[in-house]
Chain A
C-alpha cells in the first residue's frame, strides 16, 4: 500500500488566480495520477504523471490549464490555472503501488472558486 498526503486540504480562491496542489507519497512510485471530482459527480482522470517525462493528459484537459510537475518518485504538483467557478471540485492524487492494478488515493484538495 501507499500513504499519500495532499496540500492544501482545502482552499477558497478568486476567479483568475492559480493554485498549486502538492502530492507526497511515502514510497517511490512510478505512476501518479490526478483526478477531479466535481460536486456530486464521479471521478475523472485529468492526467498521468511519470517521473522524468511529460504528463499525459486525457481528452478535455490541457497542459496550459493544468500544468503538472513530477520532479521525483515521491512527489508531484498539479496547478489549476486562471481559475473559474467551474473549476470548483475536489482534486485527488493517486498512485499505483503494491499489487498490480491497485491504486491508492490521497485525501483530496477541496477547491472553491468564487
Chain B
C-alpha cells in the first residue's frame, strides 16, 4: 500500500537555524508529493508540491526536491523564523487514485528566539 513516513517531532530550533524535516514514501506508481502546514488553531494549507522526479517545490523560503531514487521529499529552510512554528505534514497523491491524499503523521516545529 501507499504510505508516508516523517521524522518524529517535536523539533525545536532557534530563530535563523537551518531546518530539515525528513519525509520518505512508499507508493505503487508515480505519486505527486506535497507539504502541508497547519498553524496553531487553523486548517491545513498547501505549502509546496512536486509532481515528478527531480522537481523542486518552493514557497515562503521552504523547498523540497522529489527524489525518486531515495523515495524522499525532505523539507528544508535555510533560516527559520518564530512565525514558522507549526505542524508540517508530508503527503502523497497518486495519479488515477481519485486525488486521495495519504498523509504522514506530521512533525511539530517550534522556533524560539
- Residue-wise, chain B 45-58 has the 8 Å CB interface mask toward A (1 for contact) of 11001010000000
B44–A43 contact, CB under 8 A? yes
A103–B98 contact, CB under 8 A? no
Known A43-B89, A101-B51: A31·B43 in contact at CB below 8 Å: no
- Residue-wise, chain A 5-25 has the 8 Å CB interface mask toward B (1 for contact) of 000000000000000000000
Q: Closest CB of chain B to A5's CB: distance in Å? A: 10
Known A33-B100, A42-B89, A48-B100: A102·B46 in contact at CB below 8 Å: yes
Q: Closest CB of chain B to A98's CB: distance in Å? A: 10
- Which of chain B's residues have a CB closer than 8 A to the CB of A56? 98
Partner of A42, one of B93, B95, B99, B106: B106
User: How far is it, in angstroms, between the C-alpha of A96 and the C-alpha of B100 when the chains are bound?
Assistant: 10
Give the secondary structure class of A's interface.
Answer: strand
User: How far is it, in angstroms, between the C-alpha of A56 and the C-alpha of B45 when the chains are bound?
Assistant: 24
Is A45 at the interface (CB under 8 A from chain B)? yes
Known A43-B103, A48-B98, A96-B99: A101·B43 in contact at CB below 8 Å: no
A105–B51 contact, CB under 8 A? no
| Count of A-B residue pairs with CB < 8 Å | 51
B89–A102 contact, CB under 8 A? no
User: How far is it, in angstroms, between the C-alpha of A33 and the C-alpha of B91 when the chains are bound?
Assistant: 15
B51–A103 contact, CB under 8 A? no
User: How far is it, in angstroms, between the C-alpha of A105 and the C-alpha of B49 when the chains are bound?
Assistant: 15
User: How far is it, in angstroms, between the C-alpha of A33 and the C-alpha of B43 when the chains are bound?
Assistant: 14
Is B32 at the interface (CB under 8 A from chain A)? yes
Q: CB within 8 Å of B: which residues of A?
A: 4, 31, 33, 41-45, 48, 56, 92, 94, 96, 100-108
A sample of 12 more A-B contacts (CB under 8 A), given A33-B100, A41-B105, A107-B42, is A31-B99, A33-B101, A42-B104, A42-B106, A43-B89, A43-B101, A92-B44, A100-B51, A101-B49, A102-B46, A103-B93, A103-B99
